[in-house]
Structure 1
Amino acid sequence: MTRTLEWKINMDLLEDEGTTEARAVLDTGESTITGRGSARRSPEDEDVPLIGDELAASRAMSDLARQLMRLAYRDIGEAGAGMSAEEDRDAPYGWTTPAR
């Protein structure tokens, strides 16, 4: 079955006195998930707003990715295909867990 979806991410950035706050909102058409991130410039560092934007935005996207992964794991568990408690939660589903 072929399926095409479009999920949109809106990124808002706010900079104030050396601190940049980012909010990334994923809209799946059925629900929204919000990730947040921030960056703070050291007073000794040169003022380069783009660096704060990049750091805050990447941290918001990382937060969004973690939330999306948790939702996927929950949905997998609800579908009856979850991992046992002793299996590695960081190993992607469908991949074998490396020998320890």
Structure 2
Amino acid sequence: MTRTAEWRMGLVLVEEDGTTKARVVLDTGTTTYTGHGVARCNPQDLDIPEIGDELAASRAMKDLASKLMREANRDLESVGAGPDTVTAPPYGWPGAAT
């Protein structure tokens, strides 16, 4: 089966008084997801707006990705394909904890 979908995404950056705020919106056509990110310039650092933009945007996209992953996990669980509940021990031989 071949399927093509187009999702639209927009990113808005606002800088004010050494703080950059980012909002990213993903529109799937049926659902809209929004992520937020903030970056603050340390008073001792040079004020380079591009760095604030990059940090705030990446944090907003990370927030959006986290929300999208939670939604995917809920959808998987609703069809009986939830996450693996068996976890390996944090160290040592795999069979040593049993």
TM-score w.r.t. length of structure 2: 0.85
Specify the code of the residue in structure 1 equivalent to 2:77. Answer: G
Aligned length: 89
1:69-80 map, 5 Å? 69-80=69-80
If you compute each CA radius of gyration, which structure gives the higher value, 1 or 2? 2
Where structure 2 has 5 or more consecutive residues not aligned to the other structure, the ranges are 88-93
TM-score w.r.t. length of structure 1: 0.84
What's the offset of the Cα at 1:24?
Answer: 0.4
1:1-100 map, 5 Å? 1-83=1-83, 86-87=85-86
Specify the code of the residue in structure 1 equivalent to 2:2. Answer: T
Specify the code of the residue in structure 1 equivalent to 2:27. Answer: D
Provide, for residues 20-42 of structure 1, a one-character-per-residue CA deviation record: whole Å limited to 9, x for no partner.
Answer: 00000000000100000000000
Percent of pairs with identical residues: 57
Q: Structure 1 stretches (4+) deviating beyond 6 angstroms?
A: none
Give the aligned CA root-mean-square deviation in angstroms: 1.5
